[in-house]
């Protein structure tokens, strides 16, 4: 009688999601997959509060934070099925695993390298950068073709995607198709490494719902029967629920949270020695000809309209690039036109990762790299600036003025570079006392005057 009124709850805590299955007897009363965004315990508590689960329950937790191994949970779920498989491919947000199976017992497990390129979460990040939903991303993938991508490393791959889209070297559909092909390559390579006949393979995990990936797998390995079950997205949680029903032990979830990362002292401790430049009042005169500057970046596109006599901003717009710098540039111009009306433009200049494409679209030869543009912009507001830190959506770097030193992390903003930024800022702060004067034995910051060739002078 107790089995009919007791809930047996299986939980799988993954790198990105919490999966929950609840059984009462042989009936599955609920299942749920929910992103935890780094808060697995809180999300789990919310799911367990569902009315149908109730308070009379036993809970088993699998995954890297639980007391049940994922291998044990998957094997138990396999035992509950009538059919058999030669292998199981677990397709998670951060990693892909392949389990070799004999009968209904798992014999071995293989995993790909831990680089995020070619993982489910990496794909989600990229369609987000292109401002697409999951359904649209899958649908448009079928219209693409294979293009070269640096898919071995997520940092290089993201940069490659950005530049190919910004330069018009590949369509959105081509990028989507190639990303799916890259994911399928990783899975196919793992299946080949098993050195076992793989006639029938069960796909589990959240990425198993990606029909474009399943299609890519079937193109690569047409002899393999890839199976996706309704239970595939929460297969490990189902196994954990079955194990909990077999041997109920815990009334509450046994989740062990690992210690958090250490932290550096906050930079705000030096806020008294920081000067924030107030925004200048907008220029009200719009007598032309005016100057239009466009920064077509990897993640965002910005545009400003300047008066050449005062070099003050008349109007500006900041928007997402979305993988289409021409559309983003056009949108910036439209927004500025809505603000100031139809005005005469005497000079147009572009910068950013898509500067050549934006320059060609706008018909200008004034195309400048970001380093020159940052130097000109910084010197406009502070002629004595000696160091610039640029932290963008795609890359970041430190620029010493005059432009003698350029240090870049390459593509992204990893913690190691932020640590370098923090150390360098501390070194700069140590050079001066609290009043902003140079300490004994140290000279003033170098003037930007030596960097004048890098500062664009506009004459209209």
Place of tokens 């032990």: 249
Q: What's the CA gap between 18 and 259, in Å, rounded?
A: 19
Say how many residues make up the chain.
Answer: 460
Global pTM?
Answer: 0.64
Domain extents in the chain: 2-246, 369-460
**Sheet with strand 17-24: strands edge to edge:** 27-35, 17-24, 7-13, 57-63
Q: What is the pLDDT of residue 406?
A: 52
Measured in Å, how far apart are the chain's first and last C-alpha atoms?
89
- Rounded mean pLDDT for each run of 10 residues along the chain, 460 residues in total: 76 89 93 87 88 90 87 95 95 89 91 64 84 92 91 75 83 93 92 92 94 95 96 95 94 74 78 82 86 90 92 92 88 93 91 88 89 85 84 75 58 43 47 46 34 29
- Cα 427 to Cα 277, 421, 433: the distances in Å are 22, 10, 12
CATH superfamily to which 2-246 belongs: ATPase, nucleotide binding domain (3.30.420.40)
Q: What is the pLDDT of residue 259?
A: 56
3-state SS class at 245: helix
Q: What's the CA gap between 11 and 238, in Å, rounded?
A: 8
Q: What is the pLDDT of residue 117?
A: 55
Helices (DSSP H) in 382-449: which residue ranges?
A: 415-431
Q: How many CB atoms sit inside 10 A of residue 33's CB?
A: 18
- Sign for the pseudo-dihedral over CA of 199, 205, 206, 207: negative
Q: What is the pLDDT of residue 403?
A: 63
Partners of residue 28 on adjacent β-strands: 23
The set of residues, in sequence order, having a beta carbon less than 8 Å from that of 415 and lying 6+ positions away, is none
């Amino acid at each position: 009688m107790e089995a009919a009124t007791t809930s047996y709850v299986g939980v799988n805590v993954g790198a990105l999601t919490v999966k929950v299955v609840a059984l009462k007897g042989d009936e599955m009363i609920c299942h749920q997959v929910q992103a935890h965004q780094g808060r697995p315990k809180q999300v789990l508590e919310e799911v367990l509060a569902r009315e149908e689960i109730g308070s009379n329950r036993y809970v088993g937790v699998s995954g890297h934070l639980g007391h049940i191994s994922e291998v044990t949970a998957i094997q138990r779920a396999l035992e509950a099925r009538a059919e058999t498989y030669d292998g199981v491919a677990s397709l998670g947000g951060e990693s892909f695993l392949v389990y070799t199976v004999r009968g209904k017992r798992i014999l071995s497990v293989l995993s790909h390298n831990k680089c995020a390129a070619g993982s489910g979460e990496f794909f989600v990040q990229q369609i987000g950068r292109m401002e697409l939903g999951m359904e649209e991303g899958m649908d448009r993938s079928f219209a693409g073709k294979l293009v070269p991508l640096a898919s071995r490393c997520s940092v290089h791959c993201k940069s490659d995607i950005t530049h190919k889209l910004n330069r018009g070297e590949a369509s959105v559909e081509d990028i989507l198709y190639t990303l799916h092909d890259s994911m399928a390559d990783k899975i196919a390579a793992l299946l080949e490494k098993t050195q076992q006949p793989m006639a029938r393979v069960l796909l589990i995990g959240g990425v198993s719902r990606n029909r474009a990936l399943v299609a890519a797998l079937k193109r690569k390995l047409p002899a393999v029967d890839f199976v996706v079950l309704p239970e595939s997205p929460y297969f490990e949680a189902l196994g954990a629920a079955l194990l909990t029903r077999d041997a109920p032990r815990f009334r509450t979830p046994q989740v062990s949270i690992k210690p958090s990362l250490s932290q550096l002292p906050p930079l705000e401790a030096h806020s008294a020695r920081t000067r924030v430049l107030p925004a200048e009042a907008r220029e009200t005169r719009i007598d032309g000809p005016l100057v239009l500057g466009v920064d077509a970046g990897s993640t965002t596109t910005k545009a400003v309209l300047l008066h050449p006599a005062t070099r003050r901003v008349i109007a500006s717009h900041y928007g997402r690039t979305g993988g289409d710098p021409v559309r983003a540039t056009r949108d910036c111009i439209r927004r500025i036109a809505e603000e100031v009306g139809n005005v005469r433009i005497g000079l147009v200049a572009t910068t950013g990762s898509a500067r050549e494409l934006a320059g060609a679209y706008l018909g200008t030869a004034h195309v400048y790299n970001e380093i020159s543009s940052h130097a000109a912009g910084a010197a406009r507001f502070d002629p004595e600036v000696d160091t610039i830190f640029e932290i963008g959506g795609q890359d970041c770097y430190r620029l010493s003025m005059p432009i003698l030193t350029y240090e870049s992390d390459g593509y992204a903003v990893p913690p190691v570079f932020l640590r370098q930024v923090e150390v360098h800022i501390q070194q700069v702060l140590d050079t001066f006392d609290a009043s902003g004067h140079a300490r004994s034995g140290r000279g003033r910051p170098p003037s930007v005057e030596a960097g004048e060739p890098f500062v664009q002078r506009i004459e209209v």
